Amino acid sequence: MNGRLVVDDVHVRFGDVVAVDGVSLDLAPGEILGLVGDSGCGKTTLARVIVGLEQPQAGRVFLDGEDLTALRGARRREVRRRVQLVFQDPESSLSPRLTIGQTLEEPLLVAGMRSRRERVKRVTELLELVGLPATLAGRRPRALSGGQRQRIGIARALASKPDVLVCDEPVSSLDASVRAQVMNVLLDLRDELDVSVLLIAHDHDLVRQASDRVLAMAAGRLGSPAQALQRR
Partner 1 sequence: MKGVAIVVGLFALLALLGPELAPYAPDDDDLEHILEGPSAAHLLGTDEIGRDQLSRMLHAARTSLSTVALVLAGALSFGVLVGSIAALRGGIVDEVLMRITDVALAVPNLVIALAILGFMGAGTTNMVFALMLAAWPAYARLSRTLIVQIKRRPYIEAVQLMGARRTWILRRHLVPAVLGPVLVYATADAGFIVVSVATLSFLGLGVQPPTPEWGQMLVSNLQFMETRPELVVFPGLALTLLVIGFNFAGERVALDRVPRPLSKRALARRRKEALA
Region for 70 from its dihedrals, namely left if φ exceeds 0, alpha if ψ lies in -120 to 50, beta otherwise: alpha
Choosing from 150, 160, 196, 211, the residue that interacts with partner 1 (CB under 8 A) is 160
Q: Can you tell me which of 17, 58, 111, 226 binds partner 1, judged by CB under 8 A?
A: 111
Give the residue, chosen from 27, 94, 129, 155, that forms a contact with partner 1 under the rule CB under 8 A.
94
Candidates 22-30, 81-89, 123-131, 193-201: pick the segment binding partner 1 (CB under 8 A). Answer: 81-89
Give the interface segment with partner 1, choosing from 9-17, 37-45, 95-103, 185-193 (CB under 8 A).
95-103
Sign of CA dihedral 47, 51, 53, 55: positive
Q: Given the complex with partner 1, which of 84 and 228 has the nearer CB atom?
A: 84
51 binds partner 1 (CB under 8 A): yes
Are 41 and 20 in contact, with CB atoms under 8 Å apart?
Answer: no
- Distance in angstroms (rounded) separating the CA atoms of residues 83 and 25: 15
Q: How far is the CB of 72 from partner 1 (least distance, A)?
A: 13
How many whole angstroms separate alpha carbon 122 and alpha carbon 118?
6
Please check whether residue 2 is in contact with residue 31, taking contact to mean a CB–CB distance below 8 angstroms: no
How many residues sit close enough to partner 1 to count as binding (CB under 8 A)?
27
Q: CA separation (Å) from 164 to 11, 15, 32, 189?
A: 21, 30, 10, 12
DSSP, residue by residue, 165-183 = EEEESTTTTS-HHHHHHHH
148 lies in the binding site for partner 1 (CB under 8 A) = no
Nearer to partner 1, 110 or 226 (CB): 110
Q: Please identify which residue in 57, 95, 115, 224 interacts with partner 1, judged by CB under 8 A.
A: 95
Decide if residue 97 touches partner 1 (CB under 8 A). yes
**Cβ–Cβ < 8 Å for 44, 200:** yes
By CB under 8 A, tell whether 70 contacts partner 1.
no
Residues that bind partner 1 (CB under 8 A): 51-53, 77-78, 80-81, 83-85, 87, 89, 92-95, 97, 103, 106-107, 110-111, 153, 156-157, 159-160
